[in-house]
Structure formats: C-alpha cells, structure tokens
Structure 1
Amino acid sequence: MSCDAGILPWVHHISWRDFLPQNLVWTDEDSKRLGDIDNGPLTRGATKAMRKWYQLLSERRYLVGHVFYLRDHSNWQFFYFDNRDLWAYANHFKGGPHIHLINHLWSNRTLEGVWDEFRNGNPEMTGAEHIRFRREKSEPPTIF
C-alpha cells in the first residue's frame, strides 16, 4: 500500500495463477457426492470424490509473485512462492516453509526476464535464494 500511495520509491506488482491438471477439475457432481456422505461406509461415488479431492490438493500449484523495483530498474526484488513452499512437511527445502528471492544482484537475470518467465507458463525459476518462513507466537502487549 505504501508503494501505491507513493510513500516509498518502489513500484510493486503482484501476479498469481492456479495450475490444476485437467483431470482434477472439481465439478458440481463431485461436490454432490461429498455432500451426500452419511454415517457409515462411504459409497463408491463418495470414495471416488474424496480421492480426487486429496489428489487435487496434492497436485495443484497455486503460484504467487511480488516484484518491487525502482522506476529506473536499477534495483529490483522479486519474491515468489507456491502452496507447496508453505507446507511444513514434505517440503523441498530442508528448512521447511519458505519463499524465494531473485533480485538485481543476479548477473544472469533481468527484471523483465524474471517477470516474463514467472507470468508465462509454469515457471521453473532456478537459482533463487530460499528465505525461511516461520510464524512466531505473538505475546499480548504488557500494560503497565
């Protein structure tokens, strides 16, 4: 919001996309099958819908990227992540949940090239720095 308000010298853009295999598109029929679940053993249709739902959650890729840059493009920072990067378990990064960073210090990268790669197709953004993400417990403020 500070970038949009002109308070900071940075320009900000965001891009997001959802990649879902065609065979896993969720239908009204799938929802109906799950809505009909009752106590007791699952029906064949409900079982099929549940399997599809869990496979959808596993294979889906929801991708988000933020770029911050100075108007002359001399300094830029690109942060991105997908839903899998935020998983605490089965994460490709040993440190667990994280985001990725690529910026103007990468000699083989340009702002335009990184932004185009991210926005077109299903990017494989190699060479990014991993920044660990960890939620901290917040303590209520102490009132004197």
Structure 2
Amino acid sequence: MQHSCVSGGGLKYRLFMEIDVFNLFEADTKKEVDKICSALTLKTSDLIYLVKLSEAKIIEFPYLHACKYLEETPENIRFTDKNIQAIKGNGVGKLSQDAKKAVNKLFQSPRFVKRTTAHMFYRIDQRYWHMFFFDLKDRAVNGNHWEYGEHIHYVSWLWPNLKCGEVWSKFCQLGKKSIGGAKHIRFEK
C-alpha cells in the first residue's frame, strides 16, 4: 500500500482500510488523531520503518528524524566513588557493611532508574512534526498505569500550544513530564 504523507486529508478515503501509523501523518485534526490513536497498535518495527524512511530521504516521506534517550537516576541510587572503593577494597569473602550497601544500590538501580526515549519526525521548516515517546513503565506488560497496558505517547503539530523546537527542547531537558496532553497508543514489541 502506498502512502502519501505530504499533508493530511487521506484519512477519509482510508476509513475502511486497516489503521496504521501513516494515518497519524495524514490526519488534519486532533479529532482524527483521537480516533486513530484509539484504534491503532504500534510495533517496534513500525518505528524502525519510520526511521528508515526518514534516512532514505524520499519525497513521499519528507520528514527528518531526531532521537533522544534520557536516563534519570535518583540521587540515593547513584553510584559514588565511595561505593566503588567499598567493593574494590572488600576482596574475596564476606562483604563489609559499606560493600553491602554498594551492592544493594547496584541491584536496586534497574528498578528506580527512569529511561525515556523520544522519536521526533519533522519537516525541515518544522511546521509539520510528530513525536512518539515512552519510558520503561509505559512499556511494562504487568502493572502498567494505562488501563490498556503497553503504550507509547504521541503529540504533533495539531496540538495548538505546542511547537516542534520547544517540545523537543523541553523533552531533552525534563523528559516526558514536560509534555502534557499526549495521546496514548497501544504498543507491541
């Protein structure tokens, strides 16, 4: 199936076809985005495909791609020089009190470190743009905070108060908490 992602308008002609990620790029209104997001399930391969299309620089997909990974480690989980020295200085055998604390901190790290990823697809003039973002909790199969489970977040040029450069800068500085009003999209690996 060919997709023209130059502007919106295509959705009304594709209503009876399967909803896919290109419907988001073709949407003209937030109302259309709402409908698409509620029906869409994205996969890792969909995001990879968008990145490859961007890298191919073809006229049918005139979007550039930016990607950002953020890692936020709570202060009480950060490994310090003292922790490293405690483990190094312990040697073989029973762990000292300081070495135990360091090892506990090491094993707690995966539970408390917040890793967030964003993929921004944007036109060179930044008038049209689409951003997908998520953290590990959004992708959790069990205990997910969204009632439908695994998901990613989406915002675009259709949000009236959001501008491409500002959204990207805020995300790069503050992570996903800086972007309100994002839509949820079901996600499968």
TM-score (norm 2): 0.58
* Compared CA separation, residues 37 and 45, structure 1 to 2 (3 A): farther
> d(CA) in 1 for partners of 2:144 and 2:56?
36
Contact (CA 8 Å) 1:37, 1:46: kept in 2 or not?
A: no
Is 1:6 aligned to residue 57 of structure 2?
yes
What's the counterpart of residue 187 of structure 2? 133
- Higher strand proportion: 1
List runs of 5+ in structure 1 lacking aligned partners: 136-144
Pick the aligned partner of 1:79 from 119, 132, 141. 132
What SS does the corresponding residue of 1:65 show, helix, strand or coil? Answer: strand
> d(CA) in 2 for partners of 1:21 and 1:46?
20
> d(CA) in 2 for partners of 1:65 and 1:23?
26
Q: How many residues align?
A: 131
Contact (CA 8 Å) 2:150, 2:187: kept in 1 or not?
A: yes
- Higher helix proportion: 2
Is 1:90 aligned to residue 143 of structure 2?
yes
* Structure 1 residue 46, shift from structure 2 partner: 7.5
Contact (CA 8 Å) 2:84, 2:102: kept in 1 or not?
A: no
TM-score (norm 1): 0.73
Higher deviation after alignment, 59-68 or 46-55: 46-55
* Compared CA separation, residues 63 and 11, structure 1 to 2 (3 A): same
Pick the aligned partner of 2:152 from 89, 94, 99. 99
